[in-house]
Amino acid sequence: MIPAPTMEAATTAATTAALAAHDLVAGYAGRRVLDGVSLSLAKGTVLCLIGHNGAGKSTLMRLLFGLHTPSAGHVTLDGATIRPSPAAMARAGVAYVPEGRGVFPGLTVAETFALAAWSAGLGGGEEAARTDEVLEILPVLKTVWRRRAGQLSGGQQQMVSIGRALLARPSILLLDEPSIGLAPKLFQDLLAPVRALQQARGMSILLVEQNVHEAFAVADAVAVMKSGRVIFEGVPADLADHATLMELF
């Protein structure tokens, strides 16, 4: 039987949400894809969102970052209702790493970072300090610094993509399926420093993942989406049992 959310999950939900969706309804060309989604990312936590392909997870991410507009419902940031737009969210300290890495294949890693620093409005000294900071967190990037992003492995490209997002020192990070195309070990290598940074800085992370085992290992809370609705919210331990997880799917 599917467990009721634990007390721990209820307590987490009661703390201030860094970012939250409230009854969001949205779709494409008149086809409803989100059917009243409410979800809270508690401050300083990692929330892992799972669900079948097509459940609406990426659509929810895009709505939270302002890349798509809901037909009903609203979004709150630090408890205040906002109308998300990518520029406003970036200014507010929210970074979004979409599914599929999105690196420019012809740019070197150094050029990719320079471009990201420029779009974040970082000046020379600040750009250098923040770049050093990201290279400390993801040292493998130092080894490929002068190589074109398109020539890198999937895991390295994912690190470039996440590193570029971290340059802005976000307080909230939206990560859409960073494990795509990565072996489980590589995914762990990617998640471990991000989790360490999240804990050190009190960052809040919404992580959409299908790779449940690795993602649950770094998550404080989990939510399950099915057919445009959130059908379960709890903590990873609630879904540790394979049968329970299967029942939700």
Ligand X SMILES: Nc1ncnc2c1ncn2[C@@H]1O[C@H](COP(=O)(O)OP(=O)(O)OP(=O)(O)O)[C@@H](O)[C@H]1O
Please compute Rg for the chain using Cα positions. 18
34/173 with CB nearer ligand X: 34
In angstroms, give the least distance from the CB of 15 to ligand X.
Answer: 26
In angstroms, give the least distance from the CB of 176 to ligand X.
Answer: 7
55/90 with CB nearer ligand X: 55
Q: How many angstroms separate the CA atoms of 28 and 19, rounded?
A: 23
134/230 with CB nearer ligand X: 230
173 SS3 class: strand
- Amino acid occupying residue 87: A
In angstroms, give the least distance from the CB of 31 to ligand X.
Answer: 7
181 phi-psi bin (left φ>0, alpha ψ -120 to 50, beta other): left
64/117 with CB nearer ligand X: 64
54/139 with CB nearer ligand X: 54
Structure tokens at 128: 């250098």
Q: How many angstroms separate the CA atoms of 220 and 88, rounded?
A: 27
Q: Are strands 31-42 and 172-176 parallel, antiparallel or unpaired?
A: unpaired
Phi, psi of 28 (to 5 degrees): -130, 130
Structure tokens at 38: 């409410």
Q: Which residues bind ligand X (CB under 6 A)?
A: 28, 33, 51, 53-59, 99
53/200 with CB nearer ligand X: 53
118/249 with CB nearer ligand X: 249
Q: State the DSSP H helix or E strand holding residue 176, giving kind and residue range, or none if neither.
A: strand 172-176
User: For residue 49, which of 241, 178, 193 has the smallest C-alpha distance?
Assistant: 178
Measure Cα distances from 243 to 1, 2, 171, 238 in Å: 9, 9, 35, 11
Q: Are strands 46-51 and 204-208 parallel, antiparallel or unpaired?
A: parallel
